[in-house]
């Protein structure tokens, strides 16, 4: 069994994808501050849900995990927003994700955000993210994928997926999925 911890869980879409991929994936805890999203997550009593801001939850108190997922707030990097990046408090949450990584030391990271994250601030934002993960000895892969082409979702939505592995041999076996015709 692979234990998943989820930051910025929303209604649990990322974790649902893991669960549908294999019964070996189990979300053990999730942190989400939006009450309406939590109303959905409360339907999964096997998940220890923290209806709270990630800044108010101590990672030391959470169960150890194998995989950390985070669909962290995108407004600071989105073309639709002001694009303030790390100067926007919502952009700084990436550094809070690093706190969870430093404490929990998951084997795998699965981060998701808007496609503009890669080009934000002439690529500097993404370079900082990649560099911070690599400093923690993660092998990092990133790719912009359109959900319409991967999984048959009726949604035309491009997102960047950042995957990190603490084990180099596992990382070498990884590849992003092929498009579904």
Catalytic residues: 74
Beta carbons within 10 angstroms of residue 146's beta carbon: 14
- For residues 66 and 4, the answer to whether their CB atoms sit within 8 Å is yes
Unique residue bearing structure tokens 């002439």? 122
Bridge partners (DSSP) listed for residue 50: 31
Which tokens go with 180?
């579904």
| Beta-strand pair 139-146/158-165 | antiparallel
Which tokens go with 118?
């890669």
């Amino acid at each position: 069994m692979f234990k998943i911890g989820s930051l910025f869980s929303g209604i649990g879409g990322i974790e649902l994808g893991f669960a549908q991929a294999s019964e070996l994936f189990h979300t053990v805890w999730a942190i989400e501050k939006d009450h309406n999203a939590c109303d959905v997550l409360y339907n999964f009593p096997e998940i220890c849900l923290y209806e709270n801001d990630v800044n108010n939850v101590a990672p030391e108190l959470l169960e150890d995990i194998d995989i950390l997922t985070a669909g962290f707030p995108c407004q600071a990097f989105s073309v639709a927003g002001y694009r303030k990046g790390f100067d926007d408090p919502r952009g700084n949450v990436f550094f809070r994700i690093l706190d969870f990584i430093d404490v929990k030391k998951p084997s795998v990271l699965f981060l998701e955000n808007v496609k503009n994250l890669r080009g934000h601030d002439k690529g500097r934002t993404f370079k900082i993210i990649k560099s911070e993960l690599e400093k923690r000895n993660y092998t990092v892969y990133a790719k912009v994928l359109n959900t319409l082409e991967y999984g048959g979702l009726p949604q035309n939505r491009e997102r960047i997926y950042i995957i990190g592995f603490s084990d180099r041999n596992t990382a070498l076996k990884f590849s992003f999925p092929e498009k579904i015709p």
